[in-house]
Structure 1
Amino acid sequence: MSTTVSADGTKIAYTRAGSGPALVLVDGAMCYRGSSPNDALAKELAAHFTVYTYDRRGRGESTDTGPYTVGREVEDIAALVKEAGGEAFLFGISSGAALALEAARSLTVPKLAVYEPPFVVDDTRPRVPADYPARLDAALREGKRGKAVKMFMTEGVGLGKATVAMMRIMPFWVKLKRVAHTIPYDTALVADHQSGHPLPAAWPEVKIPTLAIDGGRSPEWMRNGVSALAKVLPSAEYRTLPDQTHLVKAPALAPLLTKFFLSQAAA
């Protein structure tokens, strides 16, 4: 494990593997090294890239500094890009895709790929309740971490109550509760894009080549959001991985990312 220091003094723990152009992988909600789909993805990509996986602030072996802002998380990525030599490809998954989009506004990122940012752009799923962030914060202030995770899974993600009830008896539920205090960070990342309204052109600075990816078996609302994102970004293409869900398999995703990023590196 290595560490770097973000602009506000937060220690960011990361792992570097492989060789080739630098590629930073950004986790979604409650994920961190050792408990992330990006762990398997990094192994698949290490033959072609120098891959950086890291613990987002407040998780794993990284520290945290309040108050939280999205800008501070962008500064964390900036510190990693500096470690990588000042330039890196960027990939984000789920709410980590929303963070990667924000980072691409200002950092030296030659190319960006995102997998299923949870944007709600129509009525194919219920809108996230307007008071959800306030109730989530209240649960965390009261120390009710399990309640906060349940609220996130049912209201934020849109999972059924029966599914979440089964999750609560699984061993990984303890890990989720451990990082429940970071759920509001991801809520802040996507809050402006879960209203059920069409996506605005919210990222005019992101003019780099961008690959917006979804899974062919993912929910309709999520796929609609990815398709909408590709349409509002000036240099984006939209791809679907057949038979994949939001829990995308690394062997299915890695070849697409490799082809996309390396074609840019050779350009």
Structure 2
Amino acid sequence: MDKKTLSRDGTRLAYERTGQGPAVLLVSGAMSTGATMRPLAAALSDRFDVLVYDRRSRGESGDKAPYAVEREVEDLAALIQVMGGEASLYGISSGGALVLHAAASGLPLRRVAVYEVPYAVDVSATKERTEYTEKLTEALAQGRRGDAVELFLRLTGLAEEMIRGARQSPMWPGMEALAPSLAHDDAVMGGGQVPRDVLASITVPVLSVAGDASPPWLLEAARAVAAAAPEGTYRTLEGQTHMVDPQVLAPVLAEFLTP
């Protein structure tokens, strides 16, 4: 990230911009930095002024305690000012949950798009999320970053054999470095249920997208987001999963985000 700005609480935010046109800010999900959004930024840069950034406590950005979702909304407000005072937002997975909170807060936004925010759609999933929060909080408090990452991977449905393999991979130290941010994403998810009261207060158009090859509960959650937003639209992408191809997603976003 080649540029820096400060959030309201003084936290340093690292970001980079590419392209020209209407302003679009991309928000990454859990266990990721802004670098994961670069391929999508490149795919949109021929039509938009695109900003990607490291969320607080990740990559080259700083952090300050105590954490609150409102601080991350303030981060987005600071970055929108960098882009001229108004922008559209796109967020993937739990980054989408942050985008929806930001839209409900009254930030100067034109449009909002999210991809597969992993909200729970049944009671058993809600219980699983509660247990995850308790175990994650304990692991991070005790400095067991590796165990925290394991908990997250298990929550996503990754097989135990693959988790054991991940621990032996060269990527593991980087994953452990991001472990504290898992608590931030967990807070943004707010217990995991679809926040219908939050969504009902959003006054800008909302596009909720899912891949038709993803698990059915993710598609159901995406439909629920669109249904709860006053100006919500639901779209599916053929053959896509939670690891969506930027080249497939970009045209859909461009169509929706173009003024």
Regarding TM over 0.5, the answer is yes
Q: In angstroms, what is the RMSD of aligned CA positions?
A: 1.6
Show the counterpart of 2:120. 120
**Do structure 1's residue 208 and structure 2's residue 204 form an aligned pair?**
yes
2:197 and 2:70 mapped to 1: Cα distance? Answer: 19
Show the counterpart of 2:18. 17
Given that residues 120 and 127 in structure 1 are in contact (C-alpha distance below 8 angstroms), is that contact kept between their aligned partners in structure 2? no
Given that residues 126 and 191 in structure 2 are in contact (C-alpha distance below 8 angstroms), is that contact kept between their aligned partners in structure 1? no
Query: Aligned with 1:111: secondary structure?
Result: strand
2:121 and 2:103 mapped to 1: Cα distance? Answer: 22
Given that residues 3 and 15 in structure 2 are in contact (C-alpha distance below 8 angstroms), is that contact kept between their aligned partners in structure 1? yes
Cα offset, 1:124, TM superposition: 8.2
Cα offset, 1:125, TM superposition: 5.3
- What runs of 5+ residues in structure 1 fail to find an aligned partner? none
1:181 and 1:125 mapped to 2: Cα distance? Answer: 23
**Do structure 1's residue 230 and structure 2's residue 226 form an aligned pair?**
yes
Show the counterpart of 1:252. 248
Given that residues 199 and 225 in structure 2 are in contact (C-alpha distance below 8 angstroms), is that contact kept between their aligned partners in structure 1? no
2:166 and 2:117 mapped to 1: Cα distance? Answer: 22
What amino acid is the match of 1:40?
P
Show the counterpart of 1:110. 110
When residues 88 and 241 of structure 1 are mapped into structure 2, their CA distance, relative to the original with a 3 A threshold, is same
Given that residues 121 and 199 in structure 1 are in contact (C-alpha distance below 8 angstroms), is that contact kept between their aligned partners in structure 2? no
Cα offset, 1:245, TM superposition: 0.5
Cα offset, 1:84, TM superposition: 0.5
1:234 and 1:65 mapped to 2: Cα distance? Answer: 35
TM-score by length of 1: 0.91
When residues 221 and 166 of structure 1 are mapped into structure 2, their CA distance, relative to the original with a 3 A threshold, is farther
Identical pairs, percent: 41
Paired residues, what number? 257
TM-score by length of 2: 0.94
Given that residues 145 and 180 in structure 1 are in contact (C-alpha distance below 8 angstroms), is that contact kept between their aligned partners in structure 2? yes
Comparing 110-119 with 136-145, greater Cα deviation is found at 136-145
2:4 and 2:126 mapped to 1: Cα distance? Answer: 40
1:203 and 1:243 mapped to 2: Cα distance? Answer: 28
2:225 and 2:236 mapped to 1: Cα distance? Answer: 13
- What runs of 5+ residues in structure 2 fail to find an aligned partner? none
What amino acid is the match of 2:222?
V
